[in-house]
Structure 1
């Protein structure tokens, strides 16, 4: 039997081995020798069509090369030229910038525009080699690697950039999140960060996305630290503010929601955590991101109210919690019901209305919504953090042992049941049961033991299973 110190060291070694194995897979990337389980690469029929943002659809998209789309393309090309000039003579306080952002940043211009809005180039210049240092440290010390690996495998798998396991963008996302968990150890990693970083990586290179993510987390204008930190203090503050606005602006809808137990937290998590991605069409969420990067987090409050305001009549017709939530979480993502320009015009009107009512800005943030410890100063995690859940989880070997034991018991149960069935059939043909009574009773009890044992094995601590206690 291992001593406590030996057991602890074994768990630490296991954590290090798992971390190294996962990092090695991402280092190999798309190399044919890299092991990829079949379920990790979803298959899509060749006729599936991707949209302009790289997202794949289950059926052919309509032909958009009509006169309206051709005219729109011409307008966007003209706007590209204007953005080139504006970026060359950058002034973040210029009213012209605000007008053009609300019109929508041309997709080809999002890369340089978002970098300007988030001061990415300045951050990279003043923090030379910091990202690489954090990434190197994460390979040795990251305690978040398993969760990050799991989330990377799920993020934007319907997008060409992230479709293949260990693709370039998957590797970049994995690296950014692990490096940031070391750079900001107070925060570490929270699942919503994968989506935020994934959006950034659709338009940026790896290190650029790292510093853009940092700006979104620590800059007071965005302050996502308070959303992702334990306890989610900013989420609580924004939900309370959201409810105040609902009571003031849309009391009838608020009452309808309360009647059907539809609390804001049930439909607004992705609104607040990832700025509406996967809750409204991606093209519209990008327009909201454009304004969010310019105006800050007050845009999130305003867009939440805009969505409810535009769809309040339909929401009032829905008569139970499930259909209301399905409408807000699923249907609006597939079909928002309004084109992007109209939705953004409505957003701008709502922002003005909230300002008139002095509701455009939530109450001031509390201290716990911002980092309290220095960034970029490596702090090695304590032993329990390194071990994580491994103390109560089964190893791969233990899982196999349990699986084998349960399989053998199931086979035994089938044999026992067959015996019982055979004896019962004897009774049906007039054979005396007297000589089989004790055997049948034993068989049924034995079958019951099997069921209990199988369930117990799945819930018994791993050491008890192996030691037979």
Structure 2
């Protein structure tokens, strides 16, 4: 017999969710996004969490319907920011992401552009590296299997191929496949996923995926500085054992928490990422580190520190997406854009100096 939360999910996400043509038992092993649940998945705990979660989702959905009534536009104001932080309903997510990020404007200004790239001649090297990553992208998601109908692998290949030719400074690098995959799971639309990729990689996170990955390296250094200021006990243990931040948080940043945190939590983070920008990535990282500072501070070696950073992305604290999202705007305290900008400039100069010592 199906749990009431699962029945609600089927009805609530009927238009865009993964259809399961297998047996009822098989369907219960797959979440609404197509991800298989682990063998030790705790259905009782999930049922308890979902009953609370769905009550919030239902409330938010009504508020969003009223806010968006008769409009495609999304204003940038305090009220909408509050709404986004409290969660965007599944059925409105594509619209909000597209509008808030500027991707919708780009799509409308460039009609047919995405498909024209796909029809053009392609760089065989880019094709080759993308194809190599296809089978590595969400092997635990039934939508990305060749046997599924429809299969998102072809759409994923197209989005990555088009983006690789659209942004030649980036081309393709590992990590982008997970981002494009998540976008397709939500939008079910290649062209929209392409323009959302462009908003993320071109505007919100510039230099993250270029050949030097300067933006990525810089933000990892910025996180280190923020930890030094806000969670000194963790900074001290990292310093004592000479652990580079890139060793423990690079996947957090490069995958934008995909495959790191639970799906629903990642999507809530992305709601804010598309609306508010990249600062949200620091808030998430600082909250995870600050909440688990006692555990990390007790680590006695580099391997123990690495294991701690794996542990802190699992468990009830991150699974309860509503509470977790409340925490990320409270636990790290103030985090102004001016502070982040100043730290980014300092860290960028530090990295450039280390790479080109003769020029300074």
Determine if contact 1:351/1:360 at 8 Å carries over to the other structure: no
Q: Which residue of 2 aligns with 1:50?
A: 30
Q: Which residue of 1 aligns with 2:126?
A: 144
Q: Which residue of 1 aligns with 2:17?
A: none
Q: Which residue of 1 aligns with 2:256?
A: 275
CA 1:268–1:75 in structure 2 vs 1: closer, same or farther (change >3 Å)?
closer
For residues 139-186 of structure 1, give each alpha carbon's deviation from its aligned partner in whole angstroms, at most 9, with x where no partner exists.
Answer: x43421111011121111111221336853111010011111111122
State the distance in 2 between where 1:293 and 1:195 align. 17
Task: Name stretches of at least 5 consecutive residues in structure 1 with no aligned partner.
Answer: 1-44, 368-469
State the distance in 1 between where 2:153 and 2:161 align. 12
Structure 1 SS opposite 2:317: coil
CA 1:177–1:68 in structure 2 vs 1: closer, same or farther (change >3 Å)?
closer
Q: Which residue of 1 aligns with 2:209?
A: 228
Q: Which residue of 1 aligns with 2:286?
A: 305
CA 1:86–1:275 in structure 2 vs 1: closer, same or farther (change >3 Å)?
same
Structure 2 SS opposite 1:241: helix
Q: How many angstroms does 1:360 deviate by? A: 4.0
Of 160, 166, 190, the residue aligned with 2:142 is 160
Of 110, 113, 116, the residue aligned with 1:127 is 110
Structure 1 SS opposite 2:144: coil
Q: Which residue of 2 aligns with 1:335?
A: 315
Of 86, 92, 98, the residue aligned with 1:115 is 98
For residues 427-450 of structure 1, give each alpha carbon's deviation from its aligned partner in whole angstroms, at most 9, with x where no partner exists.
Answer: xxxxxxxxxxxxxxxxxxxxxxxx
Q: Which residue of 2 aligns with 1:454?
A: none
Q: TM-score, normalised by structure 2?
A: 0.79
CA 1:332–1:352 in structure 2 vs 1: closer, same or farther (change >3 Å)?
closer
State the distance in 2 between where 1:75 and 1:333 align. 23
CA 1:303–1:112 in structure 2 vs 1: closer, same or farther (change >3 Å)?
same
State the distance in 1 between where 2:54 and 2:230 align. 38
Q: Which residue of 2 aligns with 1:213?
A: 197
Determine if contact 1:200/1:212 at 8 Å carries over to the other structure: yes
Task: Please say which structure displays the higher CA radius of gyration.
Answer: 1
Task: Name stretches of at least 5 consecutive residues in structure 2 with no aligned partner.
Answer: 1-24, 350-360
State the distance in 1 between where 2:348 and 2:83 align. 33
State the distance in 2 between where 1:318 and 1:261 align. 13
The alignment covers a number of residue pairs equal to: 317
